[in-house]
Amino acid sequence: MSTSNIFKLPDVGEGLVEAEIVAWQVKAGDIVAVNDVLVEIETAKSIVELPSPYAGVVAELLVADGDTVEVGTPIIRIGGSAAAPEESASPATPADVPAEAPAMKPLVGSGPKADAVRRRPRAGSPAAVEAAPAAPAAPAPANRVLAKPPVRKAAKDLGINLADVAPTGLRGEVTKKDLLSHRDQQAAGPAAAGDFWAHAPGPAVAEDPRIERIKVKGVRKATAKAMVDSAFSAPHVSIFVDVDASRTMEFVKRLKVSRDFEGIKVSPLLILAKAVIWAAARNPSVNATWTGDEIIIKHFMNLGIAAATPRGLMVPNIKDAQELSLKELAIALNALATTARAGKTQPADMAGGSLTVTNIGALGIDTGTPIINPGEVAIVAFGTIKQKPWVVEGEVVPRWVTTLGGSFDHRVVDGDLSARFMADVAAIMEEPALLLD
């Protein structure tokens, strides 16, 4: 006798509402152990692997790749081990049936994958027979199309023969997406027979093949909401300052050949990050949060670094950056960038930021007016550094020049404070030796 457990989509971050099923790592019939990775999901912040809270046999995947489901939605059913073939060949006697099936071991929350190995039995092997569900469903007739009742109803309403639809479901079934894709293909081609047009949502108009539609979801959806909320709730004020960063470039050059920094990537962003930390310590109100009833000033620095990733813009932060040496800060920046590019940034890495830096200069942009990250009151845009004519002691000479742009929440940061903060950041970029004071 076997039991089954339903695993529901958990809240893997604070206040998670929904997530997209990116890729199942198991299929029906697989044997899983506690902490084996079942699926990768994409939240509004990151890609997360969900470990199994149960040990047993995957009985059914309840949602498909690409589906977006709400927290609490059942996503997979995991059953217990089935009885051996010789035991199931004859009717069970009362002595054969346990009083209560052994309970699965639940795993509270989600976490890193354990070292357990997931074994997938070969078809037809004794292990595969043993791992099969206790009461497998009879195979569908060869001429019957697999589809769930809602899909069948939709096909009937649209006048589409399911046999004409190419299935992509995990068990060879026609999904709703398959049905809609088939409908769209029909709409783009010759008119379909039957009463299709009577039920279609509108006149059949072939869409321009040069147009691409991208569904707004995941990081893009979360970023859009956050930026709109910030732009229209916090009164932004932006200021700019040109900086002679020649000494910063010389300092970075020396660090690159230093034995202490051997094997560590060093760039002008490192000096800017250190400058922002230093300047915020001198002007604490730029490192704050506005709540409406009070201003929360943070005497620590969780320095956010805006990072362009394949999944969109993300802002992970370096916790307690004020405690790091220049070398430790360089290592932290490298680790942050590597993790972000790999799409492995976790929700906790993006929570609790206090002030953000966006390095638009990496894309060859001189400056910009960045939008403040929600929950913060300041952001610094770092423009490209390039040689420009600069006046030094009455003479025009070529110098390495950059433009810093800062945006501030005017409810917290007044004009004089924002100016003093940006002047302090610029002072470090002009003379990094000030960091030694």
Q: Give the single-character DSSP code of 431.
A: -
User: Which tens digit of pLDDT belongs to each residue from 284-293?
Assistant: 999 999 998 9
Residue 306 has a pLDDT of: 92
Which residue numbers are catalytic? Answer: 410
The answer to whether residues 379 and 406 touch, using CB atoms and an 8 Å cutoff, is yes
The answer to whether residues 404 and 391 touch, using CB atoms and an 8 Å cutoff, is no
**Whole-angstrom distance, CA of residue 271 vs CA of residue 248:** 7
How many C-beta atoms surround the C-beta of residue 260 within 10 A? Answer: 9
CA-closest candidate to residue 33, choices 100, 71, 81 = 81
In sequence order, the β-bridge partners of residue 236 are 409
Q: Which of 154-168, 204-218, 322-336 has the lowest mean pLDDT?
A: 204-218
**316 or 96, which is more confident?**
316
- What is the average per-residue pLDDT within 75-93? 55
Q: Which two tokens stand for residue 273?
A: 């990050």
Residue 14 has a pLDDT of: 58
Site of tokens 């970029």: 429
- Which residues, 6 or more positions from 262, have their beta carbon under 8 angstroms from its beta carbon? none
Euclidean distance between the first and final Cα of the chain, in Å?
74
Question: Per-residue pLDDT for 229 more than 90?
Answer: no
Question: Per-residue pLDDT for 55 more than 80?
Answer: yes
Q: Which of 89-93, 140-144, 211-215 has the lowest mean pLDDT?
A: 89-93
Domains delineated in the chain: 4-131 (2.40.50.100), 149-199 (4.10.320), 218-436 (3.30.559.10)
**Whole-angstrom distance, CA of residue 365 vs CA of residue 360:** 6
Question: Chain centroid to CA 1: how far?
Answer: 41
Q: Give the single-character DSSP code of 261.
A: G
User: Which tens digit of pLDDT belongs to each residue from 290-318?
Assistant: 998 999 999 999 999 998 877 778 899 99
Residue 307 has a pLDDT of: 87
Q: Which of 135-139, 277-281, 433-437 has the lowest mean pLDDT?
A: 135-139
Query: If pLDDT is split at 50, 70 and 90, which confidence band does 44 have?
Result: low
Q: Which helix (H) or strand (E) holds 427?
A: helix 415-430
Residue 2 has a pLDDT of: 53
- What is the average per-residue pLDDT within 242-256? 96
Query: If pLDDT is split at 50, 70 and 90, which confidence band does 206 have?
Result: low
Most confident of 57-61, 144-148, 273-277: 273-277
Distances (CA, A) of 49 to 21, 25, 33, 35: 10, 10, 15, 10
Question: Per-residue pLDDT for 126 more than 50?
Answer: no
Burial class of residue 344 in the structure, from the number of CB atoms within 10 Å of its CB (0-12 exposed, 13-18 middle, 19+ buried): middle
pTM to 2 decimal places: 0.59
CA-closest candidate to residue 62, choices 9, 17, 19, 1 = 9
Question: Per-residue pLDDT for 116 more than 60?
Answer: no
| CA angle in degrees (0–180, nearest 5) for 30-65-42 | 105
At position 320, the amino acid (one-letter code) is D
**Whole-angstrom distance, CA of residue 13 vs CA of residue 16:** 6
Residue 367 has a pLDDT of: 92
Most confident of 19-28, 183-192, 326-335: 326-335
Distances (CA, A) of 214 to 211, 218, 281: 10, 12, 43
Query: If pLDDT is split at 50, 70 and 90, which confidence band does 145 have?
Result: confident
Residue 205 has a pLDDT of: 58
Q: Which of 13-27, 33-47, 179-193, 365-379 has the lowest mean pLDDT?
A: 179-193
**Whole-angstrom distance, CA of residue 311 vs CA of residue 317:** 17
- Which residues, 6 or more positions from 202, have their beta carbon under 8 angstroms from its beta carbon? none
Q: Which of 29-33, 56-60, 82-86, 405-409 has the lowest mean pLDDT?
A: 82-86
At position 181, the amino acid (one-letter code) is S
Question: Per-residue pLDDT for 133 more than 90?
Answer: no
Residue 196 has a pLDDT of: 41
**Whole-angstrom distance, CA of residue 159 vs CA of residue 148:** 16
- What is the average per-residue pLDDT within 213-234? 80
Question: Per-residue pLDDT for 198 more than 60?
Answer: no
**155 or 287, which is more confident?**
287
- What is the average per-residue pLDDT within 325-330? 96
**126 or 243, which is more confident?**
243
Question: Per-residue pLDDT for 125 more than 60?
Answer: no
Residue 53 has a pLDDT of: 92
Mean of all residue pLDDT scores within the chain: 81
Question: Per-residue pLDDT for 192 more than 50?
Answer: no
- Which residues, 6 or more positions from 81, have their beta carbon under 8 angstroms from its beta carbon? 2, 56, 57, 130, 131
Q: Which helix (H) or strand (E) holds 180?
A: helix 176-188
Residue 62 has a pLDDT of: 94
The answer to whether residues 199 and 158 touch, using CB atoms and an 8 Å cutoff, is yes
Taking each continuous run of H as one helix and of E as one strand, the counts in the chain are 11, 18
Question: Per-residue pLDDT for 143 more than 80?
Answer: no
How many C-beta atoms surround the C-beta of residue 385 within 10 A? Answer: 22
Residue 81 has a pLDDT of: 58
Distances (CA, A) of 125 to 56, 58, 128, 131: 18, 17, 5, 10
- Name all contacts of 194-199 with Cβ < 8 Å and 24+ positions apart: 194/159, 195/159, 196/158, 196/159, 196/160, 198/159, 199/157, 199/158, 199/159
Residue 312 has a pLDDT of: 77
Q: Give the single-character DSSP code of 293.
A: S
